[in-house]
Amino acid sequence: MIRKITLSLGRHMSSMARGATQVRRLLHGGYVRIHPSVQEALVEGRPVVALESTIITHGMAYPLNLSMAREVEEIVRINGAVPATVGILRGEIHVGLTDEELEFLASSKNAVKVSRRDFPFVLSQGLSGGTTVSGTMITAHKAGIPVFVTGGIGGVHRDGENTLDVSADLTELGRTPVAVVSAGAKSILDIGRTLEYLETQGVCVAAFGESREFPAFFSRQSGFQAPYHVQDEEEAAKLIDSALGLGLSSGVLIAVPCPQERAAEGQAIEKAIQQALSQARSKGITGKEVTPFLLQKLTELTDGKSLDSNLALIQNNARVGSCIAVALSKLQKARRKGSQPRRKDMTAPQPVVIGGINVDFIAKAQNSEILGGGQTNAGRVRRTFGGVGRNLADCLSRLGQAPLLLSAVGKDEHLESVLHYCHHMVSQFKENLCQAPLVCIDGNVPLSTIQYVCQLAREHQLAVCYEPTDESKASKPFLSDSWKALTYISPNLQELRAINRTLGNPLPAELPSRLEDVVQAAVALACPLLAHLHCVVVTLGAHGVLLCGKSLGGSISLYPGAHKQAAAARLCAAHYPAIPISREEIINVSGAGDSLMAGILAGVLAKHDTGTCVRMGLLAASLSLRSYEPISPEISTSSVSQEQVKSRSWPEAKVWKMD
């Protein structure tokens, strides 16, 4: 399981309780794609409603299924929430579908019905399918979506005491903490035994409205009472909030009766159900094929009235479910607001870092020669904590900037050690990205997140720094026009070449090693990017750092907008040599580049001049090169500061004109 963790950094905050850490699950990776609109809503804490897709792939014929899916999504939007239809497309789980993807599923002839048991096979084979209640609950929970709307849940089938045919929806409700809003259980099921099974699974079941009568999909009455009932969406939201707050592993079922105007059709439909069940038995139809067969047969036997009722109750559930999601979101926001410190106690808006946290293991042999033949080689293994985003945030924190770190950690034996080591990064609150004086993002972040941050940068004139991480990830923002919203990038020469390759720009035949040739190549590769970027910071390892950007009066500006009105500003490159350090002194190179950039950015946030900013970065990098940790614990506001820069003698930066 992957969890999104929001960390607010500040070295003097270790006294805060670890229990204050706000953790939300965020599912991402090779198998999952979260639609940008859904991801944006989740990041901002706005209400999202998960929707299943089996009703699209197996519940209705094309094109009625497509128009139904569109209508349900629109109902969710009208009522103030963001729809997130879950489906499987070519071996990938999608949370939120485009209209083209909805049409693909709706028109697919080979879509698979995907429940918990089916995920491994369907994903491994690259198949497409619709998620059941069970499959959608799993995905919604992992994506951090607490409310899920469906038509009706599965249950214990009639004659289930003999066939043991029990829907996986019921066991999923017993082990996945998601609130399911439905029209009760489908009336083709054994309602009494379904309710008994839900009780055994520890599922909190509540009827929605004035009555405790448990609805039976097409009918408002089933003859059975729900254990509880909630009068309206506010009461439902409080119930769900209580369940989530307790940390129970089970879900909540909110049973919504079908609209009153459709109630008269219930008896006629019940008679048709009995006839359809008889036909299913005679044809030997069993298992997951039963429900699609019965729904299709009911449509025929009732001359479409069951289909009309089906559509009406699904639309009604979408309306009720989205109102519940909105009420739940307001409830949670109010609680978060109440737990935040008062504005007068808060410092200026924080810089935000979005990136990775790694646990690294470094093994070093005691002897210079490794003995072969299966012999034991004495040595030492050290565990360190890295990840570009974590490194940047750590170093900025040590330099007094208290950034907000948004990252992801695995729920494993290393989680507690990460949080313990990052004791100066205790979660306090999630600052609005739009208020941040600086946003840093690394190449480990999913492309959709990078695009979202760049979109915010355009809309709110944010300063955004992109750290490419490595050659294979460097080009992510440059796959579209997103990169034009960035302010700074900090590539090495290999990453800079990869970026230009993606943009289709001319490339050098090979990368040089001699300093003069390295600078010339870096200038040529950085120049086309400066049509949109404010500054390109090229890290050159032992050669130091090359700043490429606009210059006025001999100094390259690190502050966006400083030369917009200055006609005399021109593109220049300035080379700052690294602080000399012998090979014997170097212990760890993994965090030096991150320390360099964090030092520069700390200087920018402190509004120092360009030379001071760059040399603060060089000081931080030299300390981390001598440390076993990626970010040296020796980095502080006293060891890396304007005063330290002024106390040392530095070689002059060499400046070249780029235009």
Among all residues, which ones are annotated catalytic? Answer: 52, 186
Tokens for 593, please give them.
């580049």
Task: Return the structure tokens found at 446.
Answer: 């999913």
In angstroms and rounded to an integer, the radius of gyration of the C-alpha atoms of the chain is 29
Query: N- to C-terminal Cα distance for the chain?
Result: 51
From CA 496, how far away is CA 511, in angstroms rounded?
Answer: 11
For the chain, what's the residue count?
659
Residue 650 — φ and ψ, nearest 5°?
-125, 145
Other beta carbons within 10 Å of 536: 24
**All residues at 6 or more sequence positions from 232 whose CB lies less than 8 Å from its CB, including other chains:** none
CA angle 407, 410, 412 (to 5 degrees): 145
Side-chain half-sphere CA neighbours of 79 within 13 A: 25
Task: Give the whole-angstrom CA distance, residue 419 versus residue 220.
Answer: 50
Angle at 633 between CA 629 and CA 636, to 5 degrees: 140
What gap in Å lies between CA 255 and CA 328, rounded to an integer?
17
| Rounded Cα distance, 654 and 659, in Å | 16
Opening angle at CA 342, ends 338 and 345, nearest 5: 150
Contact 243, 292 (CB under 8 A): no
Give the Å distances, CA to CA, from 16 to 3, 10, 13, 423, 574: 21, 11, 6, 9, 43
